[in-house]
Structure 1
Amino acid sequence: MTTLTPSPLIDRPRAVAAEGVDAGVAAHYGDPGREQRLLTEGLAVVDLSHRGVIAVTGSDRLRWLHSLTSQHLSDLAPRTSAESLILTPKGHIEHVLHVVDDGETTWLTVEPGTSAEAAAWLDSMRFMLDVAVADVTESWAVLGEPIGREGGEGEPVSWVDPWPGPVGDTAPYGPVDAHPGADWAWRETLVPRAELDAAVGDRELAGTWALEALRVHAWRPRFHLETDHRTIAHEVDWLRTAVHLHKGCYRGQETIARVHNLGRPPRRIVSLHLDGSGHLLPEAGSPLFVEGGTRPVGQLTSVARHHEEGPIALAVIKRNTDPGATLRIPTPSGDVTAAQTVIVAP
């Protein structure tokens, strides 16, 4: 695991450090609700310098990444973004790659703490090709911006989130029309880590709490939150932006094809509106029960307080759970109830 010193931006006024997967950057700068509104208006940036950054060079880099991962990358044009998955042989999600090429280097950003593992696996798969892999997290940092375009010539390289797509030859497992992520505009801009503070300058900063609330509202899955060691892409509607269904063979492809062609995923992601009468939100990882039931049907994966919708969450539940059932989440201060909105249909 790559361990970084806390971001210099955490020393900004009113900054409160995040915990858990987002440790090392700010959870908020004093007013998470205001920070959400600034992001929706395109008026703030988010410190994502805890994310990992991998640089892949060499003339074979794109066709090599194409052969290893779930997305069609062999002809990726410079300053064009893609999302791709590294899968286990059984098709479980092992890494999520945010991919952008600048014409000489393919840049990958990954979840915090995972760059060393991802880079090591990629490096082990180079064989005789003209490819070099380097974990450059200590030298490069990521800033998140509510902008839906790649950087142009003379601007920093940026990865633009394709969510909610759908992208290319794929299959959405959730809705195409009226998707709450339709207005989601997001990019990750790469800056030298030593220049991070200067790159932000006097722009407004928003913390990870604000970003997470908007992500949850957009039904956007996140690796290590909406996923565990058993997750397949169909369960969390990740085919829509990260999987090409008719490209060449890659590790885990058999599961992708078999479930898509012959079956249904055993679990499904769902959006929840939580009872907001209490002051405390249930924690991610809490078990979910159908109201009146005694056996858990799933797990809460992400929880947030949205500036308009109130307490919301994402969860992964058993596929056959009644979509109309009210769900119950036990907490130390009492049960919290949750109403489902179907994402992946049962």
Structure 2
Amino acid sequence: MGDVFAAVPGAVVDDSGLQHVGSPLVEQRRLAAGSAVAPRADRVVIAVPGEDRLSWLDSLSSQALARLQPGVGTELLILDPQGHVEHAASVLDDGQTTWLIADAADAAGLYDWLRKMRFRLRVDPRIAGEYAVIGGTAAALEGVVSAAAPAGMALVWRDPWPGVAPGGWAYAAVDPHPGLERDWAEAIVTRDEEARIADAATRGDVQLAGLAAVDALRVAAWRPRWSADVDERALPHELDWLRTAVHLDKGCYRGQETIAKVHNLGHPPRRLVALQLDGSGSVLPEHGAVVRIGDDEVGTVTSAALHYEEGPIALAVVRRSAPVDAALTVDTADGPVAAAQEVVVPPDAGRTANVPRLPRLGRRQAAQ
């Protein structure tokens, strides 16, 4: 219910929620520093109670969940039989219920699929509309937000990105990974608590950041997201999502054969790149904007943002065969824009890859 924040001074609210409160770049800085929190009307909570919940989710998804400990945050992917990403969710268990946080655009589809897969097991998934989601650094949430705790444990999911979870695998070879700079958590709160935060922000007692700021920090951290970076062809390998969302050594699940084959014997057909965009223009590329080498189309932009330190940046998925040192351009409404690529997923990504660790390029280095 993003409209509860409409009365906050400077608020710009649309169908997906609070976009900003007047200054997206300032909001990014505050959000990163832990002095602001962000309402996440673009996220939906799904509750999965029942004695069989963890083993059931383990059997359906890419993640090993059967022994998930209460309070430990992880994430899962639901794949099709060919290993393509169909759904994604953040995961937190409180000892009685497993809580999934999904993108609003994906939540209904994920919920419907889960309901169809119950069979005779003791699980009862439901969309928990009585709850909302607030994001920010863990310290910011602790200082501002009273998370829901229906089983006595505060429902705060800590983003594991860009760590490598047990059974996971890292493809990106930069050092340090830019995601290390991003401290991110999401609290599940009651609607009354959401309204309290909105009232406090209207009085000036709480600083808010909008979804534009949230997404800019995500893009800078190379963090994949279902509603932005996933299309009908997306494999987890292409987005470096084996880090946190796939357990390579767990039991059978739908799509596992493709996951193993691509990782152990081959390479993903596409690869994620980070783009430093020419900042002389004022128009960011749209989702799906074409990425080119010369006149050849080699990929598409999945996410773009104006970052408070790095300027205009983007994530894009390009063909594996696209040279890592090629000069790229991106189509925009104002014409082509030059883009310096930074390799996220290398062309030979996989278990057998021998990729040296590379220093992270700054904007000035990338432009040279």
TM exceeding 0.5: yes
Q: Does 1:215 align with 2:218?
A: yes
The whole-number CA distance in structure 2 between the counterparts of 1:215 and 1:50 is 14
Aligned-pair CA distance for 1:197: 2.0
Aligned to 2:356: none
Aligned to 1:331: 332
Matches within 5 A, 1:110-149: 110-136=102-128, 138-147=129-138
Aligned-pair CA distance for 1:124: 1.1
Q: Does 1:171 align with 2:159?
A: no
Aligned-pair CA distance for 1:193: 2.1
Q: Does 1:15 align with 2:7?
A: no
Aligned to 2:229: 226
> Conserved in 2, the CA contact under 8 Å of 1:58 and 1:130?
yes
Aligned-pair CA distance for 1:194: 3.5
Aligned-pair CA distance for 1:211: 1.1
- Which deviates more, 141-150 or 110-119? 141-150
Name stretches of at least 5 consecutive residues in structure 1 with no aligned partner: none
Q: Does 1:279 align with 2:282?
A: yes
TM-score by length of 2: 0.87
More helix by share: 2
Q: Indicate how the Cα distance of structure 1 residues 225 and 196 shifts in structure 2: closer, same or farther if over 3 A, else same.
A: same
Q: How many equivalent residue pairs? A: 335
Q: Does 1:106 align with 2:102?
A: no
Matches within 5 A, 1:14-53: 14-18=10-14, 23-53=15-45
**Quick one: percent identity of the two aligned structures?**
49
The whole-number CA distance in structure 2 between the counterparts of 1:50 and 1:325 is 36
The whole-number CA distance in structure 1 between the counterparts of 2:216 and 2:332 is 21
The whole-number CA distance in structure 2 between the counterparts of 1:80 and 1:158 is 9
Aligned-pair CA distance for 1:10: 2.8
Q: Deviations over 1:21-60 (max 9, x none)?
A: xx33111100111111101111111110231111001111
The whole-number CA distance in structure 2 between the counterparts of 1:6 and 1:39 is 18
Q: Secondary structure at the match of 2:28?
A: helix
The whole-number CA distance in structure 2 between the counterparts of 1:123 and 1:189 is 25
> Conserved in 2, the CA contact under 8 Å of 1:166 and 1:176?
no
The whole-number CA distance in structure 2 between the counterparts of 1:122 and 1:144 is 25
Aligned to 1:198: 196
Q: Which amino acid is 1:44 matched to?
A: A
Aligned to 1:251: 254
Q: Which amino acid is 1:145 matched to?
A: G
Runs of 4+, deviation exceeding 3 Å: 148-156
Q: Which amino acid is 1:14 matched to?
A: G
Q: Secondary structure at the match of 2:105?
A: coil
Q: Deviations over 1:214-257 (max 9, x none)?
A: 11110001113111011000000000000000101001111100
Q: Secondary structure at the match of 2:276?
A: strand
Instruction: State the Cα RMSD in Å.
Output: 1.8
